[in-house]
Amino acid sequence: MLSKFIRHFVFSILLLSGKSMWACDVCGCSISGLQFGILPQFQKHFVGMRYSTKSFTSIHPPLFTTDSLTTSLESFNTVDLWGRMAISNRWQVFGFLPINFIHKVENGILYDASGLGDVSIVGLYSLINQKKSKNIPLYQNLQIGGGIKLPSGSYQTLDAAKEWIPGVQLGSGSVDFLLNVNYIVKYQHFGASLEANARLNQQNDLSFKFGNRYASTCKVFYRIDSKKNVIMPNLGLTFESSNRDYHEGAFLDLSGGKTLFGQIGVDYFAEHISMGLHYQPSIYQDVAQGNIISSNRFSAQILYLF
């Protein structure tokens, strides 16, 4: 009886301790990034909408040997309202306004949250601006830049168990900095694109800092011309990594990791309309010491160019 009382007493203390609670939590959205994809008609402005969905199975290890392991199912759906303003031949500014929908089920308890996420603004400069090589008919564009993510999304929401869990917040609560590099090269009907981005996260007022996020995508594509329209099937890989989260002077064990996804998609380009469908099958993942298992991903978008 005494040992049982001590075990439950320690367990209660751990639950009341913010650091311990967060350290035992598994963050279902611990890896995420801001990606552009293959962008149409560099000289034009656009506005559009992009839908993306991600889902995870999170394993919550027991605190004690006598406790049982629990799992939760989490899905994250985002509708991004985004656009581009072409300021000049070399400068472009992008804006992203995400609407997030979070769904989580753990031990039969349902948790739902929806609303505005963290707004982002990014500026890109074209170092190579759609130039052809003199010797080989290569068509290239290289953009570099960065931006800022603002804490516009709610980040103090409690789940059904009245706990603050980092993985199910609509926003991070911090001002974060973004870095981006985009490169596209085309030869006749074939082409390739390389995109790399980083999100350098800062600490919020809850003394919590999400680990920095990094992502890179490489695609090959083939251009099919049909009158004034273009259909572009593409294949590729996306590698993502995340540093461990940080809270009150300590790194959290069950956070951070690496994933590798395939890329299968098709994009359609017309004079004023662009559409795309993309599917990402999971190839490799090691997130939160194997305690987060990501399902395949899907995204779709439509843009209006003017």
HEC string of the chain equals: CHHHHHHHHHHHHHHHCHHHHHHHCCCCCCCCCCCCCCCCCCCCCEEEEEEEEEEEEEEECCCCCCCCCEEEEEEEEEEEEEEEEECCCCEEEEEEEEEEEEEEEECCEEEEEEEECCCEEEEEEEEEEEEECCCCCEEEEEEEEEEEECCCCCCCCECCCCCECHHHCCCCCCCEEEEEEEEEEEECCEEEEEEEEEEECCCCCCCEECCCEEEEEEEEEECEEECCEEEEEEEEEEEEEECCCEECCEECCCCCEEEEEEEEEEEEECCCEEEEEEEECEEEEEEHHHCEEECCEEEEEEEEEC
> What backbone phi and psi angles, to 5 degrees, belong to 279?
-125, 135
Q: State residue 180's pLDDT score.
A: 97
Q: What is the pLDDT of residue 23?
A: 40
Half-sphere exposure of 250 (CA within 13 A, CB side): 10
Kindly state the tokens that stand for 294: 């990501």
Partners of 57 in the β-ladder: 73, 293
pLDDT for the residue numbered 33: 54
Which of 6-10, 153-157, 166-170, 181-185 bottoms out in mean pLDDT, i.e. has the lowest?
6-10
**What pLDDT score does 21 carry?**
43
* CA–CA gap between residue 279 and residue 14 (Å, rounded): 41
pLDDT of residue 133: 63
> What is the average pLDDT value for the chain, to the nearest integer?
86
CA gap 59, 292 in Å, rounded:
6
pLDDT band for position 242 (cuts 50, 70, 90): very high
- Is the model more confident about 44 or about 11? 44
pLDDT classification of 181: cutoffs 50, 70, 90: very high
Confidence tier at 136 by pLDDT (50, 70, 90): confident
The mean per-residue pLDDT over the stretch 196-201 comes to 96
**Averaged pLDDT for residues 42-69:** 87
pLDDT at 13: 38
Domains of the chain by range and CATH? 2-305 (2.40.160.40)
* Nearest CA-CA partner of 124 in 200, 193, 192, 42: 42
118 HSE (CA, 13 A, CB side): 22
User: Which residue would you say has higher pLDDT here, 42 or 116?
Assistant: 116
Task: Tell me the pLDDT tens digit for each residue of 102-126.
Answer: 998 988 888 888 999 999 999 999 9
Using CA atoms, how far apart are residues 146 and 93, in angstroms rounded to an integer?
10
The pLDDT tens digits of the residues spanning 254-285 come to 889 999 999 999 999 999 999 999 999 999 99
CA distances, 52 to each of 111, 124, 189, 278 (Å): 20, 23, 28, 9
Number of Cβ atoms within 10 Å of the Cβ of 109: 11
